[in-house]
Amino acid sequence: LDKFFDGKLDAQTVDNLDMDYMENAYQKAKDYFEKMNMSKEGIYNQLTSSAEGFTPEEAQYAVDKLFQS
């Protein structure tokens, strides 16, 4: 495998990943709510923990979307 991939990603490769971190955070928040019945504050804290690593903005988007009335 090393002869095909040197472990480095160029800028074009990274740009083509097209990751939606806001939506990923929302999906995680939804999982925490449905499987663990976590509160809004608990989900926010879990998303921003070092275990998950989402930014405060991504976590806030996720809990706002999840708990919108």
Burial 32-42 (b: 16+ CB within 10 A, else e): bbeeeebeeee
**pLDDT, tens digit, 9 for 90 and up, residues 6-60:** 566 666 665 655 579 999 999 999 999 999 999 999 999 999 999 999 999 999 9
Quick one: which H or E segment has residue 44?
helix 40-47
pLDDT of residue 27: 96
Instruction: Please give the residue that has the higher pLDDT: either 6 or 62.
Output: 62
Say whether pTM exceeds 0.85.
Answer: no
Separation in Å, CA 60 to CA 2, 11, 28, 45, 55: 39, 28, 12, 10, 9
